[in-house]
Amino acid sequence: MSDGMVLDRVSRSYRGGAGVREASLVVRPGEIHALVGLNGAGKSTLMKLLLGMLRPDSGAALIGGVDVRRADSRTWSRLGQLVETPLAYGELTVRANLSVAAQLRGVPSAERSMVIDKAVEAFRLTEYVNRRTRSLSLGNRQRLGIAAALQHEPDFVVLDEPTNALDPAGTILLREAVARLAGQGAAVLISSHHLDEVARIADTITVMNAGRLIGHLDPQDDDLERAFFQSVLRDDESRSEDGEQSA
């Protein structure tokens, strides 16, 4: 299991009480693992904890068997992530942004040009390649962010709501890229609001509610939306009963 991404009983509270509670999760190599939940469930927080962008109050996050608090550039070069806004410098061209991202992930300079060409082609960014990023549409900026996250063929992929702002064509390109990387053995964690979209690519679907991981959904389920809302409702009810009992 050490080759994938692991959260081991991770908790983190924000002031005000929200956050992530006792979350344990394993994303195996070759697995596309989807995280679904209502707005505010804690998906972004969980991903930031996994990436070491937030420190847990307790528990640990491991990437490739390495605790993210001690991870060095070798581990980070094997990671591709898009959490929050796409990494893009508005004044730089699409190509220059991809070059910076490749450099940050340790792609050797001799290979950089080829890697970028492939990413531009894969995400159909050819006609924008010399345009300043700030002049791109939101959807193309998102394509660029995804291309920058995936171009170095990472072994670990973490994408927070990557289909936001993508058009259907962009969504298909993302799906293909993620499936290809997982086929090569990458461990992929992806959050989404679109249950039908998730069902199409995920091997495992984990539901998050009120800061906790509350169970899984079957990607083959014909009525995923119903199963999702049932599991959230059941969790809300059981927590309010617990609250009443302890009150």
Ligand X SMILES: Nc1ncnc2c1ncn2[C@@H]1O[C@H](COP(=O)(O)OP(=O)(O)OP(=O)(O)O)[C@@H](O)[C@H]1O
Q: How many CB atoms lie within 10 A of CB 132?
A: 15
Nearer to ligand X, 41 or 98 (CB): 41
Binding status of residue 39 toward ligand X by CB under 6 A: yes
Q: Which is nearer to ligand X, 4 or 19 (CB)?
A: 19
**Under rule CB under 6 A, residue 106 binds ligand X:** no
C-alpha pair distances (Å), 171 with each of 9, 17, 31, 155: 32, 35, 19, 21
Task: Say if residues 9 and 59 touch (Cβ distance below 8 Å).
Answer: yes
Which one of 40-48, 126-134, 145-153, 236-244 is the stretch in contact with ligand X (CB under 6 A)?
40-48
Q: How far is the CB of 149 from ligand X (least distance, A)?
A: 17
Out of 3, 8, 11, 18, point to the residue binding ligand X (CB under 6 A).
18
- Rounded to whole angstroms, the Cα distance separating 11 from 17 reads 12
Nearer to ligand X, 15 or 70 (CB): 15
Q: Please report how close the Cβ of residue 14 comes to ligand X at its closest, in angstroms.
A: 3
Angle in degrees, CA 56, 62, 64, rounded to 5: 160
Considering only the stretches 14-22, 90-98, 213-221, 224-232, report the one whose residues sit in contact with ligand X under the rule CB under 6 A. 14-22
Q: Minimum distance between the CB of residue 119 and ligand X, rounded to whole angstroms?
A: 26
Interface with ligand X includes 209 (CB under 6 A)? no
Name the nearest CA neighbour of 12 among 39, 62, 70, 52. Answer: 52
Quickly count: other Cβ atoms within 10 Å of residue 245's Cβ. Answer: 7
What is the rounded CA–CA span in Å between residue 221 and residue 176? 22
CB 121 → ligand X: shortest distance, Å? 31
Judged by the rule CB under 6 A, the positions of this chain that interact with ligand X are 14-16, 18-19, 37, 39-45
